[in-house]
Amino acid sequence: MPTLIQLAKSKTLWFSTALTVLGLAQQFIGAVPLTAIQQSYALMAIGVTSALLRFVTSQALADK
């Protein structure tokens, strides 16, 4: 089981946390007013970023 310090070193988990906070802010307070086209670009950027993070991941969290 990874420790909190090991989890804090994960770029993928930081990205996921930021997405969660942004999603909550959008859902509850409408913090990011985007059109449908802008939303599609944002989703593409999220997908590409997730893929890139996966490619740069070289070790398990337990090994950090």
Tell me the pTM: 0.70
- Give the mean pLDDT per block of 10 residues along the chain (64 residues): 79 89 85 87 92 84 68
pLDDT on residue 1: 72
Residue 1 CB contacts under 8 Å (≥ 6 apart), including other chains: 62
**35-53 burial, b for 16+ CB within 10 Å, e for fewer?**
eeeeeeeeeeeeeeeeeeb
Question: What are the domain boundaries of the chain?
Answer: 4-63
